[in-house]
Chain A
Amino acid sequence: MPQRGMQTAPDQKKPLAQLSQDQREFLDRALRVNQAGELAATLIYTAQTPPLLQSHPNLRSLMKHMYDQEAGHFATFNKLLAKHRVRPTAMYPVWKAAASILGWSTGVMGREASMACTEAVETEIGNHYNGQVRELFRWMQEIKSRGEEVDPELEELINTLKRIRDEELEHLDHAVENDAKQAQPYAPLTNVIRYGCRGAIWISERV
């Protein structure tokens, strides 16, 4: 857990804000879930790409671009978890298997299904990150209203999460542009995936 002590920033009069135990636990859970999410995202793209490119080789550069961004997010969260000594989720091998199966089966189902899968996952993830950014932003407001200095690490985290959220929403837009909405059992497919994501997020926060 990050040890944030009460210190006076060198040339300023305001004391550095210390996070409460609840806030630390929130960050602990948030980082754990985010890492699990990015692990799943990279595996979904890895599994989707080969069957998808067999029928639609023109999607190669798009898939590579999305994969590279997810891999970058994954690396970011891995570093954060190691730095702040956060426990990774115990469901790691389960999510690995589940994400690979999801990616492979939507890849085999075709372009529209793959894009619908991406659309569903990114919608949930976008909401999820947005919620975290809102919560951290609220903390920042509270700290400022108490007249304390915001820890630069906290600000950096908020900016990182905002950037990642924006990139995920960009993937959502790409998916919709590529006819995600034309996927054939559209409602069942997206609902199953969205509820699956919510369940996975809930479990990873706790286990």
Chain B
Amino acid sequence: MRHVPTHGFSMRALTEGAKESGYLEVSVQLLPRGVFDLINYHLVTQRLALKDRVQFPKDSKLGAGEKVRTLTLERLRANQDIIHQWQGALGQMSLLGNIPASLKELHILSDEIWYLSGDTSVDTSWYTKRASLAALYASSELFMTADASKDFAATAEFVDRRLEDFQKVGKTVGGLGQFVGFWAGNTIHLARSWGMRV
């Protein structure tokens, strides 16, 4: 990984790294997916490092949304050393053979962030939360590759705007559900008060 900032996610970085660790250049052939394995290594280690990088105190008054924001930004920040090479990595990840593994990693990351923010819901929202966070993270990461602002402040604002959007959508959908449920319940109760055996 040390060679990635200079050589990008490429075979060159892999071979330089192998040489440095005292292995033969040809030993990189042991990695079945070549460069993708290097990218995957970065993804997995940064995901696992999240719980060490962000520790919420036990009596933290932060809401779940706040925690999700903190965790997402922290994970994005973990990319900053190699962000100038990340567009190449995204290209690699979108190669047909690599797509399933990349999507799986994205889903696992989304699950990890929700878990670390203390989410314990196990109904349909389990799916919607993870899907929306995955979309949010993917778009923010892409935005970050072109972000030249100081300390990636523009990316942080982007994340905030997306989170607001999701909250709005969530409220609308929830409101619609409540509306339909209310009228359905109303109809049944009215029928019962008329003596219908419903």
Contact surface of A with B, Cβ cutoff 8 Å:
35, 50-51, 54-55, 78-79, 81-82, 85-88, 90, 92-93, 108
Contact between chains at A54 and B197 (CB < 8 Å): yes
In the assembled complex, which residues on chain B have CB atoms less than 8 Å from the CB atom of A50? 192
Decide yes or no: A92 and B124 within 8 Å by CB, A85-B115, A108-B198 being known contacts. Answer: yes
Beta-carbon contact of A78 and B198 below 8 Å? no
Chain A CB within 8 A of B123 CB: yes
B198 touches A35 (CB 8 A): no
Q: Which A residues are CB-close (under 8 A) to B127? A: 90
9 sample A-B contacts, Cβ–Cβ < 8 Å, listed by A number: A35-B122, A51-B198, A82-B120, A85-B111, A86-B122, A88-B126, A90-B127, A92-B123, A108-B197
Give the distance in Å from the alpha carbon of A51 to the alpha carbon of B189 in the complex: 11
Distance in angstroms from A59 CB to nearest chain B CB is 15
Given A50-B192, A54-B192: A88 touches B198 (CB 8 Å cut-off): no
Chain B, interface SS category: loop
Residue of A nearest to B115 (CB): A85
Chain B positions 88 through 117: 1 when the CB is less than 8 Å from some CB of chain A, otherwise 0: 000000000000000000000001000100
Task: Contact check, B126 vs A87: say whether CB atoms are below 8 A apart.
Answer: yes
Q: Which residues of B contact A92 (CB under 8 A)?
A: 123-124
Contacts of B120 in A (CB 8 A): 78-79, 82
| Inter-chain contact A81/B122, CB cutoff 8 Å | yes
Which residues of B are found within 8 Å of A88, using beta-carbon distances?
A: 122-124, 126
* Chain B 181-198 residues near chain A, CB threshold 8 A: 192, 197-198
Residue of B nearest to A104 (CB): B198
Partner pick for A93 among B111, B115, B122, B124, CB 8 A cutoff: B124
Q: Kindly report which residue of chain A lies nearest to residue B123, judged by CB atoms.
A: A92
Interface size class of B (residues with CB under 8 A): 10 to 19
In the bound complex, CA of A113 to CA of B192 (Å): 20
Nearest neighbor of A110 in chain B, beta-carbon distance: B197
Give the residue name and chain of the A residue nearest to B112 (CB): A85
Distance of A44 Cα from B124 Cα, bound (Å): 19
A171 vs chain B, min Cβ distance (A): 23
Given A55-B197, A90-B127, are A82 and B192 also a contact pair (CB < 8 Å)?
no
- Residue of A with least CB distance to B118: A82
- Specify the chain A residue showing the minimal Cβ separation from B130: A87
CA distance A108 to B192 in the complex (A): 12
A179 CB to closest chain B CB (Å) equals 19
Q: Report the minimum CB–CB distance from B35 to chain A (whole Å).
A: 28
Whether the Cβ atoms of B197 and A51 lie closer than 8 Å is: yes
Residue of B nearest to A86 (CB): B122
Q: Which of B109-164 contact A (CB under 8 A)?
A: 111, 115, 120-124, 126-127
Chain B residues with Cβ under 8 A from A78's Cβ?
120, 122
Which residue of chain B has its CB nearest to the CB of A82?
A: B120
Chain A residue nearest in CB terms to B195? A54
Contacting residues, chain A, for B123 (C-beta < 8 A): 88, 92
A86 CB, min distance to chain B CBs, angstroms: 8
Closest residue of A by beta carbon distance from B120: A82
Task: Report chain B residues within 8 Å CB of A54.
Answer: 192, 197
19 further A-B pairs in the complex, CB-CB below 8 A; given A81-B122, A88-B124, A90-B127: A35-B122, A50-B192, A51-B197, A51-B198, A54-B192, A54-B197, A78-B120, A78-B122, A79-B120, A82-B120, A82-B121, A82-B122, A85-B111, A88-B122, A88-B126, A92-B123, A92-B124, A93-B124, A108-B197
Residue of A nearest to B114 (CB): A85
Q: How far is the CA of A200 from the CA of B39 in the complex (A)?
A: 40
